[in-house]
Amino acid sequence: MAATASFDPKSVLKLDGYLEPFIPAIAHRHERFQKWKDAIDQYEGGYEKFTRGFDKMGFNVKESGEIVYREWAPNATEANLIGDFNQWNRMSHPLKKNEFGVWEITLPPKAPGVCAIPHDSKVKISMITPSGARIERIPAWIQRVTQDLAFSPAYEGRFWNPSNSEKYQFKNPRPPQPRAIRIYEAHVGISTSEHRVGTYKEFTQDTLPRIHALGYNTIQLMAIMEHPYYASFGYQVTSFFAASSRYGTPEELRELIDTAHGMGITVLLDVVHSHACKNVLDGLNAFDGSDHQYFHEGSKGRHELWDSRLFNYGNHEVLRFLLSNLRFYMEEYKFDGFRFDGVTSMMYVHHGIGTGFSGGYPDYFGPGADEESIVYLMLANDAMHTLYPSVITIAEDVSGMPLLCIPVSQGGIGFDYRLSMAIPDMWIKLLKHKTDDEWDMGNIVHTLTDRRYGERSVAYAESHDQALVGDKTLAFWLMDKEMYTHMSDLTPMTPIIARGLSLHKMIRLLVHSLGGEGYLNFEGNEFGHPEWLDFPREGNNNSFQHARRQWNIVDDQNLRYRYLNDFDAAINHLEEEHKWLSASQAYVSLKHGGDKMIAYERSGLLFVFNFHPTKSFTDYRIGVDEAGEYHIILTSDEKKFGGFENVSCGGKFTTTPMEWNGRKNWLQIYIPSRTCVVLGK
């Protein structure tokens, strides 16, 4: 336990002195983490071996063609492997059980190098429970499952073992970890403009070049882990090691990731370890006939809002399964990291249900904290960062848990970034409930800058959450039905469209440059995608109308969507040049309620926003710390961005050495209504 002694819990006080009363709780959870880590080191050969459970469990093929299949099912009293290969004979291929509840069978090759189970043929495990009941399940570690909706919504397990010539061979190394992440959140299935499910191949050929041109350096892929209900957005997972077959084959997903790497783009997986689909026939629920194998039994093992099962993170084999799941996607598909879904639900025994987090520290370290789950997240982060130093992990947490993005070795939970979930909520509330002249500049700035010292945040104006049915995209909130009639350059620029285009650009630049150390955009929102997101389901007659991306409207040179698209690209490329996301937090010198003005400096640039709906200002005085000659390097008012060209790039703005708004110098600029400018030297 030497490593435990080396961690000084009081070191966290350097980050946040208010944590002092909670040092015992922080020390206790770190001790629990260390006990697990020590046990993994002592009995499992450390993270390296423990997280490679897929080399032992499930189907493993040797060069000779021999297949070894293992399955953890402690409650079962008898087990047989069945499938197309043995005409579903429930007696011919029995498995043997060891003292840890792991069943095993070895299938000799039919001929040298020829497996007894044909590639892509159907397989299952048939088991007898203590009551004598026969149950049949898809192997838990299966790497491919398919669904034929014409026959049944249930999935069928497939033995995936392509020949060497059919296996995808990676060509490109992983890109280095980005200095700062500019994330394009994407869903393969909706990435087509046609009324159907898009494919990995199409995403590789058509969507990756768009993302690259826009200047995003990271892609976050949603809904990859297999899920039976398309409309769940991938958040009801049944087969954790199977990449969704809706979009194509595992080899085609590998090609997608490799192609992205060739463009220098990092690829993150939206991983769902917070809960699992309750399906029995094709999921983990009641896998061996018991209620408590992978999950807690009773109400503790059920999420009442999500109608799903909750993992028992205190079980050794569950830890092997989940940690190996992370390693599998890093190793087999070359993902570069993870966005962990539902972290708030995991970290609290109440799962965040009916709880408003006030920021009071007892919320985080009192009896409401689920220490078992927090320790799992610590192990997951520590293992991945140990094995892959360039890995990126992001937490979806709305609670504001302290130390979430501090390394485990320093008493934290170990994530690299947290999502700033309050920011998109603020914009929706403003657009829904406030008139433009009611916008509070101070509150906007506070929401954008309110983040924990020393912990990195990913800011975003809107994600997939805001576009889901029942809500709508920011662009649609701003322009609504006029998007159907007045987004063409051949029609007059109406007041609603002019306002919508201006505010869409201003909001995104403000969030990008002030809101965090990373930035995220959901697919299509960069060009102001209209309407909302809704997957085919019974309630909409299984329509794909809103489960696709209308690329045609941004590609049409007569439509105004291209202005938003081009401004989004300009922001990303300017960030790459001036690196504000990796700079220290901005100094905000101005947030003027009456003038609706915001000004701040970050990374040597001066950002100025005029949100006033009617007032333009001539010779508006702006404080700036560094003296010299400034020029406008980006403005939302350029014609190429759908602006009025009242302000254009260039110009010369010389500082005056006199204190203004707490800065050593000032300069004066013309700043029109609903316009933003960036000045640089």
Return the pLDDT at 10. 86
Place of tokens 């009995």: 43
For residues 154 and 90, what is the distance between their CA atoms, to the nearest angstrom?
20
Average pLDDT for 19-24: 96
Return the pLDDT at 622. 98
Residue-wise pLDDT for 104-116, tens only, equals: 999 999 999 999 9
Task: Tell me whether residue 74 is exposed, middle or buried, using C-beta atoms within 10 angstroms of its C-beta: 0 to 12, 13 to 18, 19 or more.
Answer: middle
| 236 pLDDT more than 90 | yes
Return the pLDDT at 4. 43
Residue-wise pLDDT for 462-486, tens only, equals: 989 887 867 899 999 999 999 999 9
| 512 pLDDT more than 60 | yes
In terms of DSSP bridges, do strands 605-610 and 675-680 run parallel, antiparallel, or are they unpaired? antiparallel
Sorting pLDDT into bands at 50, 70 and 90, what band is 594? very high
| 3 pLDDT more than 60 | no
Residue 163 identity: S
Average pLDDT for 160-165: 96
Task: Tell me whether residue 150 is exposed, middle or buried, using C-beta atoms within 10 angstroms of its C-beta: 0 to 12, 13 to 18, 19 or more.
Answer: exposed
Element at 578 (helix H, strand E): helix 561-578
Q: Which tokens go with 42?
A: 């002592």
Residue-wise pLDDT for 39-62, tens only, equals: 999 999 999 999 999 999 999 999
Place of tokens 């689909």: 277
Sorting pLDDT into bands at 50, 70 and 90, what band is 154? confident
For residues 334 and 340, what is the distance between their CA atoms, to the nearest angstrom?
17
Average pLDDT for 344-365: 91
Return the pLDDT at 471. 83
Element at 156 (helix H, strand E): strand 155-159
Average pLDDT for 455-466: 94
Q: Which residues contact 451 (CB under 8 A, 6 or more apart)?
A: 420, 457, 516
Q: What's the 3-state SS for 356-385?
A: CCCCCCHHHHCCCECHHHHHHHHHHHHHHH
Average pLDDT for 532-538: 92
Return the pLDDT at 7. 86
Q: Which tokens go with 29?
A: 């959870």
Residue-wise pLDDT for 243-273, tens only, equals: 999 999 999 999 999 999 999 999 999 999 9
Place of tokens 């209504």: 673
Element at 444 (helix H, strand E): helix 441-449
136-62-80 Cα angle (round to 5): 20
| Closest to 246 in 3D by CA, of 231, 267, 266 | 231
Q: What's the 3-state SS for 16-54?
A: CHHHHHHHHHHHHHHHHHHHHHHHHHHHHCHHHHHCCHH
Q: Which residues are catalytic?
A: 341, 396
Residue 505 identity: K
Return the pLDDT at 183. 98
Contacts for 160-163: CB closer than 8 Å, 24+ residues apart: 160/119, 160/120, 160/250, 161/59, 161/61, 161/115, 161/117, 161/119, 161/120, 162/119, 162/251, 163/119
Residues 344-380, buried b or exposed e (16+ Cβ, 10 A)?
Answer: bbbbbeebbeeeebeeebebbbeebbbbbbbbbbbbb
| 2 pLDDT more than 70 | no
Global confidence as pTM: 0.97
Return the pLDDT at 151. 87
Contact 419, 457 (CB under 8 A): yes
Q: Which tokens go with 521?
A: 């955009």
